[in-house]
Structure 1
Amino acid sequence: MYDMIIIGAGPAGMAAAIYAGRAKLNAIMFEKEFPGGQVTKTYEVANYPGIADVIGPDLALKMQAHAKEYGIEPIVEEVIEIDVNDKIKKVKTNKNTYEARTLLLGMGATWRELGVPGEKKLKARGVSYCATCDGAFFNGKNTVVVGGGNTGVEDAILLAKFSPKVYVIQDLPQLTAQKILQDTLFSLDNVEVFTNHQVLEILGEDSVQGIKIKNKETGEQRVLDVEGVFVAVGMTPNSELVKGKVEINEWGYIKANENCETNIPGVYAIGDIRDKKLRQIITATADGAIAVSAAEKYILENP
């Protein structure tokens, strides 16, 4: 019997492990692949307070080492089923079954990819899924945003501060972002929008050298001269495990309040899987800390 089980060893899970260890909680953490989550796929992290210009995998290792100092290391077992119906929560992995008084869900989310040639090869070499994270690295370089929703348009507005030219590619006949965002976008002199266009290929060998697009109406193809490609076509929360177990929204994110509490007492959602406005390393680690604080209070009140 554990005080806490943490599912997912990304920044949210690592922060939760650190706080749980410091609180002397009997906690364990599971990770089905490798610790670090999405941060391990980020080449440079320049906006995490106090640690400037760190390589993503290095930051993940620092977090893992910090959690280890408090006696919690990721257990590499895939969680395949959870039972949250009773006061004691049960977690079944591909190897064992575990029980705990509280459960933290930190399985994260996955950036949706375009699935075009060159994307995987040039990921973190000019292809990014987070303009907030990586936009400043493209100061003075032409960039393109793929996606015309709120996130895509917000990304383009941000990139326009750094790039002499920003292109926006939308495969629909019009942008779908809120009108106030579109008005801001169209007021920028260095932004050009291509609606009803499809991305065919991201060009380059060791880094992005351009992007090939096609007009869906005419079939005309052209290459845009860019060094940064920002994909903003959404994320997919890794929430299959909890469907029907806790309340989720229409996009699959777990609903939780500001204390990261779900609709099930003793169950918390942390990190990118939680329904919230901003998904960044710093907000994920904040979730981990908040959830442990709330869980500790829950444990005291429910002996």
Structure 2
Amino acid sequence: MLDNQIKAQLQQYLTMLEGDLLIKASIGDDKTSQDMLNLVEELEKMSPRITVQHALLERTPSFSINKVGAEESGVVFAGLPLGHEFTSLVLALLQVSGRAPKVDAAVIKRIQAIKQPLKFETYVSLTCHNCPDVVQALNIMSVLNPNISNVMIEGGTFQNEIKDRDIMAVPTVYLNGENFGGGRMELEDILTKLGEVSDGSEFADKEPFDVLVVGGGPAGSAAAIYSARKGIRTGIVAERFGGQVNDTLSIENIIGTKATEGPAFVSSLEAHVLDYEIDVMKSQRAKKVEKKDLIEVTLENGAVLKGKTVILSTGARYRQLEVPGEEKFKNKGVAYCPHCDGPIFKGKDVAVIGGGNSGVEAAIDLAGVVNHVTLIQRSEELKADKVLQERVRSLKNVTIITNALTTEITGTDKVNGLTYKDRKTGEEKQIVLQGVFIQIGLLPNTEFLQGAIEMNAHGEIIVDKHGATNVSGIFAAGDCTDTAYKQIVISMGSGATAALGAFDYMIRNVDSRDYIEA
């Protein structure tokens, strides 16, 4: 079931088990059941701490992981947890055995305070790079609180449930039988959605920072690391550590790294940040920035963080079409991540809107999964790199329509078509399809800064060559700025520039110098 290289890696992890485990497996006569049986039996052979027992669980095939002598952990895998979910399996084995998850004490306290029973069901595909974050977060909650349980459900194995619940995007999470949400969610995001929010009191006693970074993507991470290396007090507050990079699958243009994936890259960024004495505050959204004696950043939870300098690196998000049907049919046929949601549309007809690199790459990716792809571009020509254009034009199941303005996404309970206007003739046309993937660029996350600092007509923060804004002591970096190109490597460089600019500002400013030396 597992190749020798994976077995060797797994063997090392299994030596870290802190208690004996009982795997209860519900096995049928189907091939997936037999593959699952082979998997858990291999685990049993690899560690004397693991015992496999046949049992009847809610779903077949599935298996639960429990600590011997303890109550049920609530951690269940329905379908094979391979592909991107293999890490979820390894972490579940370790955490159920008694190995403490790497979670802040304040977050653990919030989890353990939950009294009501929470039964989560998480639908995934094994090609989804966002799904493991959700599965692992809910598994941690299940391990830490006996009132909580989570079952990972692999959609390919339980297609009847996917159909019955009309699931058209992964991850999709159900809570106590009702749709809870979809898309990538971290542990803190789930707690916030449950109403277990931080009230800001945990930030009340924080001393002012020399450099406070707002945003935890590549630019924010680089800015925080460069600042901390100067030996000054550094903090980083981020709604979502890693930002948009979490939604990127293949990354092949980081110099010195031939290829990686978004979540793996984010993990390495966070690990690097944590190597320094940086105060990391995750799942916190900035609401306002004001220049007073110090620069004050007010969070959505009411807390106020202060810094002698602030570096804004809030990144960008997917641009939306803003046409009728887009919001209504999100996760019901409207999607933004072809890597995550592509398998849900296997054998169906879909459209990709956007003729840049991301749109053409999405069309190429989906063409290998779906029945047919219609690539729609607003202008006369595709904007993607020539090599990508040549590739997409070679695919027999891809139709390219240019000079097309999408006017509506149609459907009843889910997407059934798309309407566009021919910009040459003015004629309105309809395409029958089951999915629409939107890939039309980015919008900077700067709405909360309106009136506080100078921005251009696109909402991008205007910066100089030092990363400085028009407000003394406030710097900015990355995709939220007016930089000419939106690339990970450029964002990291601009984060470093802003950090150096902030440090230079402090050593040249009398008040800042006195504060640092105090």
% identical equivalent positions: 25
Once residues 353 and 247 of structure 2 are traced to their aligned partners in structure 1, the CA distance between those partners, rounded to angstroms, is 10
1:110 is the counterpart of 2:317: yes
Once residues 79 and 238 of structure 1 are traced to their aligned partners in structure 2, the CA distance between those partners, rounded to angstroms, is 10
1:299 is aligned to 506
1:4 is the counterpart of 2:200: no
User: Per the alignment, in what secondary structure is the counterpart of residue 59 of structure 1?
Assistant: helix
* Post-superposition offset of 1:230: 6.2
* Post-superposition offset of 1:155: 2.5
The one-letter amino acid paired with 1:9 is G
2:228 is aligned to 21
1:130–1:95 Cα change, 3 Å = farther
1:51 is the counterpart of 2:51: no
Is the Cα contact below 8 Å between 1:108 and 1:238 reproduced in 2?
Answer: yes
Q: List 4+ stretches of structure 1 deviating above 4 A.
A: 125-137, 139-147, 196-199, 227-230
* Post-superposition offset of 1:143: 6.7
Residue by residue, what CA displacement relative to the aligned partner does 1:173-229 show, whole Å, maximum 9, x if unpaired?
xxxxxxxxxxxxxxxxx9652434546479xxxxxxxx95435455543469xx995
Q: Normalised by the size of structure 1, how large is the TM-score?
A: 0.74
The one-letter amino acid paired with 1:84 is K
Of residues 277, 281, 295, the one that matches 1:71 is 277
Query: How do 1:27-46 and structure 2 match up within 5 A?
Result: 27-32=234-239, 34-46=240-252
Residue by residue, what CA displacement relative to the aligned partner does 1:90-149 show, whole Å, maximum 9, x if unpaired?
222225322221110111111113426523275434569895468568389697654436
The one-letter amino acid paired with 2:260 is V
Query: How do 1:53-202 and structure 2 match up within 5 A?
Result: 53-76=259-282, 77-86=284-293, 88-93=294-299, 94-114=301-321, 115=326, 118-120=333-335, 123-125=338-340, 131-132=356-357, 138=364, 145-148=375-378, 153-155=382-384, 159-164=388-393, 192-196=401-405, 198=407, 200=409
Is the Cα contact below 8 Å between 2:355 and 2:377 reproduced in 1?
Answer: no
Of residues 459, 466, 469, the one that matches 1:252 is 459
1:144–1:157 Cα change, 3 Å = farther
Is the Cα contact below 8 Å between 1:128 and 1:134 reproduced in 2?
Answer: yes
Is the Cα contact below 8 Å between 2:475 and 2:498 reproduced in 1?
Answer: yes
User: Per the alignment, in what secondary structure is the counterpart of residue 163 of structure 1?
Assistant: helix
Once residues 486 and 437 of structure 2 are traced to their aligned partners in structure 1, the CA distance between those partners, rounded to angstroms, is 19
Once residues 354 and 249 of structure 2 are traced to their aligned partners in structure 1, the CA distance between those partners, rounded to angstroms, is 12
Once residues 133 and 122 of structure 1 are traced to their aligned partners in structure 2, the CA distance between those partners, rounded to angstroms, is 10
* Residue range with higher mean Cα deviation, 288-297 or 17-26: 17-26
Which structure has the greater CA radius of gyration? Answer: 2
Q: Could you list the runs of 5+ residues in structure 2 that have no partner in the other structure?
A: 1-207, 343-351, 514-518
Once residues 276 and 229 of structure 1 are traced to their aligned partners in structure 2, the CA distance between those partners, rounded to angstroms, is 27
User: Per the alignment, in what secondary structure is the counterpart of residue 491 of structure 2?
Assistant: helix
Q: Normalised by the size of structure 2, how large is the TM-score?
A: 0.46
Once residues 107 and 283 of structure 1 are traced to their aligned partners in structure 2, the CA distance between those partners, rounded to angstroms, is 15
1:286 is the counterpart of 2:493: yes
1:130–1:270 Cα change, 3 Å = farther
Count of residue correspondences? 269
> For the aligned residues, what is the CA RMSD?
3.6
Once residues 17 and 278 of structure 1 are traced to their aligned partners in structure 2, the CA distance between those partners, rounded to angstroms, is 22
The one-letter amino acid paired with 1:163 is V
The one-letter amino acid paired with 2:244 is Q
* Post-superposition offset of 1:54: 1.6
Once residues 194 and 18 of structure 1 are traced to their aligned partners in structure 2, the CA distance between those partners, rounded to angstroms, is 45
Is the Cα contact below 8 Å between 2:297 and 2:304 reproduced in 1?
Answer: yes
Greater fraction helix = 2
